[in-house]
Amino acid sequence: MFWRRALSVVVLAPLVLLVIYWGDWLYVLVVLVATSMMQVEYCRIAQHFTEKLNPVMPALLTGAFCLLAYFLPTFEPKISTIMLLNKGTIFSIQRSLPVSAVTFSFFTFVFIYVFAESIFRAKVDGELITVTLKLTGILTIGWVFGYHLILLRNAEPVGRHLIFLLIGTVWCSDTGAYLVGVAFGKHKLGTPVSPRKTVEGTIGGLVVGTLIGFLIGIFLLKGTLSGVNAAFIGLFLSLLGQLGDLSASLMKRTAGVKDSGDVIPGHGGFIDRCDSLIFTTPALYYYWELTRHLA
């Protein structure tokens, strides 16, 4: 298993780094594919709780969240207002349509769509569960993850470096937790969600993540992040990364499945590979935005 995981990393890591470095439409396309596949896997897992969920519309709405994040900050429609003065002079005022208004209107549409679809179905039993599952999948994968993954990369002038900081810290933390747990793990973490995880592995992941976050921060974001701030981000992302991993494990264990898919040898599906990024992505984006404006 370890060598399959390692081989997948060797093959895929350079491609992922290249896509992140390139950015722009190629990065957006990869995020669209990844989040769409995650939505398909999620709907397949959700079948264990309700009747079959068609992944087509949830995947489209997930993609729409990603496209909103990409286009809205650079395209602000102008609304022209015609004013007539008391002397008969006519002039036009252009105002920007707030990005937040467009985003929240789309949120509203998602809620209306999900409820309307269930209302007009012939079956009533279990529909509230179906509504909840659909909303959870669309908002978690589409907004919490995909939307902020695009925003973080486009956070110029350091978006590229922030993504490198994110995936470097989180994935190295995952690897550190796995290796330390295999080599030294003796005390179980004590959660039925993931009974194989150990206290030693968890601590190892936090230590590795903090160290990697510190190193990436001081080298790639020199002059922007202090050493203390970079180390804190490393620890913060490592904690949230493990929480994201356990959250995905909770979903899979409740459904009685081991992996979300078998697309990536040694890693499972897209959810298995990206679960640690689901919470860390928006957390890093908002941490960056808050500290940037408060500095």
**Backbone torsions φ then ψ of 256, nearest 5 degrees:** 80, 30
Instruction: Encode the chain (295 residues) as per-residue pLDDT tens digits.
Output: 555 666 666 777 888 889 998 888 999 999 999 999 999 999 999 988 887 788 999 999 999 999 999 988 765 554 444 444 455 554 444 555 567 788 889 999 999 999 998 888 767 777 888 899 999 999 999 999 999 999 999 998 899 999 999 999 999 999 999 899 988 888 888 778 888 889 999 999 999 999 999 999 999 998 888 889 999 999 999 999 999 999 999 998 888 888 887 777 666 789 998 999 999 999 999 999 988 767 5
Measured in whole angstroms, how far is the alpha carbon of residue 5 from the centre of its chain? Answer: 22
In the block, tokens 């933390």 appear at 173
Number of domains present in the structure of the chain: 1
- Report residue 223 as tokens: 């002059």
What CA–CA distance (Å, rounded) separates 43 from 176? 31
What CA–CA distance (Å, rounded) separates 294 from 278? 25
Burial 15-27 (b: 16+ CB within 10 A, else e): eeeebbeeeeeeb
Domain span holding position 182 = 2-294
